[in-house]
Structures are given as structure tokens and as C-alpha cells.
Structure 1
């Protein structure tokens, strides 16, 4: 087992890239990408495991996910098949999370070294443009992957970053829910966005624009929880046999996300079960409220959380980025009109940006602390 400290610098990513190549072809041990100063311990993974990735801990309890070389290859191959064939990739995501790792895996299978953006000091549109310039001058399909916060910054900034983004044949977007207004703005600006849904346990995104990748199966289990099966599924959790048995029962992974399947079979993710707010005995989906708020003029992002309330159990609160031309009463009226009075945020706070964790997901616990 080989631990690689990934700090966002090109040198660290290059080391990880080499380790992944060896792990995929069986000439090297399994690779474990870790944060600086956060080593991990555990037993030696079973034969066939190429990668161990700590989850971002959306429930506060991070776990190491065991991914076989076959699952990583299946995911990368299906992605290329959906996008239009193997191509050249720009890595603009942290490589210690599965979305970034998969950019490296796809590059290995495509036979190209990836272009690398130095993210050790954070994400900047100008830095993205500089990193993209090297891959955009080359032939063949050009791809990259982003989280919604990165896309929002590129669209807001315009200029060289947005021009570079338009040059990619596909921009995978995942890691968190994307406001529909942001998608519309990006696509109107000429960005070829492909929304993705997946997690570390599915070797990254496995549903693109609502449609499962080849070989991936999706169904709704008890309570409308999304369940996933197929060749991209992880082998389980590192040194957690009981949690593995519970989460991967019968070859299906229970995600913890609520979903809805349209008449055409497309999956719509409604939010996490954990994010439901129980106010006065009525359950409010935080994601649904966020979508209404983010659709208002000028609102860039919104995060909705439940705060303790002595009378109602929880009260709905919203942190909003942007929308300076829209007052709080307008925001509340929009929510009331679409979702009913019970979903209306009783508290609204304007913020410059939302706190993030992991690959770019909103840190809901940190948002709650803002109140």
C-alpha cells in the first residue's frame, strides 16, 4: 500500500499519477491519496484493489472506499464512451478526491498525460485559463471536470477563464447540486456542461445528465432512496465489514440520496435524506428550497439548513450568495409560492461565499454555524 500526500501541487499530482498507473496494471501496490499531515492506517487491501479513497464525510464520518482496478477502468471507459471517445484531460479538481482521481485514470486509459492546474493556493479563473492553454492547442477531444463553485466563479469572472472553458468538448460538473440558473448561464455562454451524479462508492460520476452510464443500473429503494449497481461499484469500505454489508447489500449501493425517476427513466436527485428539515412535524427538503432561491435574479448560490427551534423542533434558515437586487421578502415569497409556507426560510443571511469541504461541496455544518 502506497500513501501519496496530495497538496494540490503539480509535483504531488504527478507522483499520484505514476502510482495509479502502476496500481491499474498490477505492477504496483494500491494507492491511498491523503491530505497533508493526515496519514491513514489500515490493513493491506485485498488483491485487485488499486485505490483507497477517503470519502468527504458528508455525514461527518469519513470512510476509506476500496476501488478495484476493474471498477476504475469501467468508469473511465464508460465516460469516454458517453462523451465521444478518449481525449485529453485538464485536472482542475483536488486529486485526493474521486472526481480528481478519475481525471487521472481517464488520462491513463487515453494514453495522454493530463494537463495540471496548481490548486495548492485555491482556484482562480486566471490560473484555470493558463492551465487550459496547454491542452486546448492539442488535437482530439478536450475534457475537464469542475464542481459548481468553480463553474460559478468562471462564469462570473468572464474573460480568459470563460473563453478557455468554452474550448472544451465537454465539462463534467458534479460533486454538489447545481443551481439551474447557473447551468442556464453557462450553457448560454457556450460551455458544454454535462451534469454528473455519483460518489466515491460508485467510482465517481455514473449518471450523466440524468442517464446512467453503460452498465450502470439505478433504482429507487425504500423511501425513494437512490440505489446503484453495476461494474463501477466499489468493493466496500476499508476495514469496515459490517458497514460494507449494510451499504452494499445484494450488489446494490444505498446512496442516502432521495431521487425521482421520470417517465423517460432519467434520474432527478432531490437531496440527501440527512438534509431533510423537520419543522412542526413536516419534512422540508433543503435542496428544493435552495433551487427556488438560486433561481431568483442575481442569486449565485444558496444553502438551506435546519436550526434548533424550541417550538417547531427546527426552523428553516438560508445562507444566500448574491441577489443584492432582491430583498428577503421576495425570496420568501418565491419559496412560499412554489413549496408552501412551511418551507419559507424564517432566517436569511447574506454571505460573500459558502464554506466548502472536500472536493467543493458546501459544508452544511459550517453554514449552520454562521447563524
Structure 2
């Protein structure tokens, strides 16, 4: 199967390419940037999504037509079918799935392009008045928590945003943890929220409010969540070794995706407790704290202001973004906390990306360390959580 690179994440461009990819092909590659990809992919592949993944290193996930459409059909079976609004970039799996659901259901998606704002959201929603056979067609959308936060904040004062939130049959929210207070505020404005869990490797959200979609199985093995079912990716393009390590088969021949997430499954309900590796999800984007730390430590010292060669970066909960990096440094090394944080944010934003920028700096008299001499990151995360 021929693979064509799509260098645009404009949802309209992605939608046009998906119409062909879900049919006779060719397959499309999204989010690849400058990464070199093969010209051919295995038969049946529809989309290759390049993602930073849990390691912060780009991985190109191969998704078949079957996996994408299975996910779309399972979503419709769980929450219903209707018209979808896409307020997300089309180059990420959440955006791709909104478009796939629309194509499978034979509806035209509404699209919010450009910078996301509560006013723009309410304007697009006001035009979503479609009917079929004289009956109103239900509407749906998919958001990340930071977008929901923007809408909830605006809805406190703007009745138009409140009406927009309440107009959807279901609002899927995924990409990172959804703080319960935010969900409660949204629901107080009439929003019907469903929290989703999944990844590119599972063709998007595959667990809704803790319950796997029909056909999806989730288990915890040695504390790590694993997923099986028809929505699984075929593997990583050009990386059979990684594919073999991440997609494994059990004694019965069932194929499982090792998520890298820590969690438990109790009475059929999935609960995610964190990441096994040193990665956080900030604003729906995977951020490798190791990469952030390397950039920070390489900053040239500024006499009298800071030296960050011994600094540590940990993740901490954030009401708006889910999690953000926090810079921890010795008080003796930092004469000007504002200057240190500003320099770190600028360097990290340029080299890793805006979602990876440290949100604040925490000064300590001494960095807690393990017997090995390495920083005690568990203790540092506790300090960061305590503010």
C-alpha cells in the first residue's frame, strides 16, 4: 500500500485524505514533520500517526481501516450517532477519530479552525442545527481538558457559551486527566461529559468513564494496564523491535498493547494511576521530563542570577493543563527565581515545545537523593505537589 505524507493538520485537508484512505487508498501519514518514512506500508493500513509517545521520542503508529472504523462504531454504540464538531487539530488521533466517526455515520462534521476560544466555539455550535426525517440530529464533540476549562470559565458569565455546552448529547474529554471539580462545573452548566482513555495505539479513546468499549478488554499486569481488541494499531512503522516489545501475545494468542500506564481494573472499571515512565501529559501532549531536564541543565549559568546544572524537573498536577513540569533547584544556586524560570521556559519552549515549559520553580535547601546519589524524584514530586 502506498503511503502519502500529509503535511497539513487542517481538518478539512485531513477529511479529504481520509475519505480516500478508508477506501481504496493510498494511506496517509500525519504529524511526521521532517521524519523520513517508507513509501509503502502493509496492506490494510489507512493512517500512520507520528506521535511523541510515552517516551517523548517520535513513533509512527500504523492504524488499519478496520481499527479506525471499529473504534468509530463502538463509540456510536456507546453514546449514539449524530453530527460531530471538531475543535481539535486533524493531525492527532482524537481529531482523526472525530472525522472517521463522521465518515462512518455519513454526516458532515462541523469544524472549528484557527485559535480556540469560547466565542468561536459558541459561534460554530450555533450553526449546528441539522435534522433527519423531521427529527433533530444529536450533536457530539471531543475536547481536551484545557479547552473545557476555557469554556467553563466563559460559561460562568456568558449564556451563549452555556447554551453551547448544554446543546451536545455528549462531550468526550480525553488526552489527559480530567479534574473532578472541572467536570462538576461543566455539568452544572448542563454539559454531558464522558471522560475517555486511550492513545494512538488504540485508535483513540477506548475506555469511556472507566468502562471499555464493546470488544475492548483491559487488564493490569504487574501494575501496568494492557489493552486488547479490534481497535489496536498494527504496530510502529519501520520499528519491528519496538512493535514486538509493546504489542505482545499471551499464552492464548491474544494480542495486547502495553500502555506504559500504571493502573488497576476493579469490577470491570479501569482506573489510571499514573505513568510508569517519566512522562507527563500536559494539555493533551506527552512531555518527556527527561528531555525538559536536559534542556534546563544545559542552560549557561548567569552570574548572580542562576545556575541550573543540578536542577531536577518533575511533574505536578495542574487544574488547567492536567500536569505541568516543575523546576526544582537548590536555593543556593538561584539568586533570581524569576530570571531562572524565564530562561528555562524560553529554552524548553524553543527546543521541546510550549506544553513542556516549566510552570513554576521550586527552591529547596538541598535536593533529596537516593543512596545511589540520584535525585529522589518521588520525594521531589511530593514537594512539588505540596507547593
TM-score range, shorter chain: 0.7 to 0.9
- Counterpart in 2 of 1:91? 86
Tell me the CA shift for residue 275 of structure 1: 4.1
Matches of 1:16 and 1:268, distance apart in 2: 33
The counterpart of 1:131, out of the listed 124, 129, 141, is 124
- Counterpart in 2 of 1:19? 17
Matches of 1:302 and 1:19, distance apart in 2: 32
- Counterpart in 2 of 1:297? none
- Counterpart in 1 of 2:358? 367
After TM superposition, the score normalised by the length of structure 2 is 0.71
Tell me the CA shift for residue 260 of structure 1: 1.8
Tell me the CA shift for residue 80 of structure 1: 0.3
- Counterpart in 1 of 2:76? 80
> Is residue 71 from structure 1 mapped to residue 70 from structure 2 by the alignment?
no
> Is residue 230 from structure 1 mapped to residue 242 from structure 2 by the alignment?
no
Larger Rg: 2
- Counterpart in 2 of 1:261? 265
Matches of 2:144 and 2:195, distance apart in 1: 10
Distance 1:368 1:127, change over 3 A: closer
Tell me the SS of whatever aligns to 1:367.
coil
Structure 2 regions of 5+ residues with no counterpart? 250-254, 281-313, 331-340, 343-347, 363-387
Distance 1:154 1:20, change over 3 A: same
Tell me the CA shift for residue 7 of structure 1: 4.3
Paired residues for 1:208-357 under 5 Å = 208-222=208-222, 224-250=223-249, 251-262=255-266, 264-275=267-278, 290=317, 294=319, 300=320, 303=323, 305=325
Matches of 2:35 and 2:162, distance apart in 1: 37
> Is residue 207 from structure 1 mapped to residue 207 from structure 2 by the alignment?
yes
Tell me the CA shift for residue 366 of structure 1: 2.1
Tell me the CA shift for residue 71 of structure 1: 0.3
Farther-moved stretch of structure 1 (134-143 vs 148-157): 134-143
Checking the alignment, whether the CA contact within 8 Å between 2:54 and 2:279 is kept in structure 1 is: no
- How many residue pairs end up in the alignment? 299
- Counterpart in 2 of 1:180? 180
Paired residues for 1:33-52 under 5 Å = 33-34=30-31, 38=34, 40-52=36-48
Checking the alignment, whether the CA contact within 8 Å between 1:43 and 1:239 is kept in structure 2 is: no
The counterpart of 2:140, out of the listed 139, 143, 153, is 143
Matches of 1:7 and 1:302, distance apart in 2: 24
- Counterpart in 2 of 1:100? 95
Tell me the CA shift for residue 133 of structure 1: 2.0
Matches of 1:235 and 1:136, distance apart in 2: 38
- Counterpart in 2 of 1:61? 57
Matches of 1:256 and 1:113, distance apart in 2: 35
Checking the alignment, whether the CA contact within 8 Å between 1:94 and 1:100 is kept in structure 2 is: yes
Checking the alignment, whether the CA contact within 8 Å between 1:34 and 1:40 is kept in structure 2 is: no
Distance 1:301 1:356, change over 3 A: farther
Checking the alignment, whether the CA contact within 8 Å between 1:248 and 1:254 is kept in structure 2 is: yes
Tell me the CA shift for residue 265 of structure 1: 1.6
Tell me the CA shift for residue 141 of structure 1: 1.7
Farther-moved stretch of structure 1 (142-151 vs 184-193): 184-193
Tell me the CA shift for residue 14 of structure 1: 2.1
Checking the alignment, whether the CA contact within 8 Å between 2:31 and 2:51 is kept in structure 1 is: no
> Is residue 2 from structure 1 mapped to residue 4 from structure 2 by the alignment?
yes
Deviations 1:304-348 (A, max 9, x none): 6575678xxxxxxxxxxxxxxxxxxxxxxxxxxxxxxxxxxxxx9
Structure 1: 4+ residue segments shifted above 3 A: 37-40, 300-310, 368-371
Distance 1:22 1:370, change over 3 A: farther
Tell me the CA shift for residue 143 of structure 1: 0.5
Tell me the SS of whatever aligns to 2:127.
helix
- Counterpart in 2 of 1:29? 26
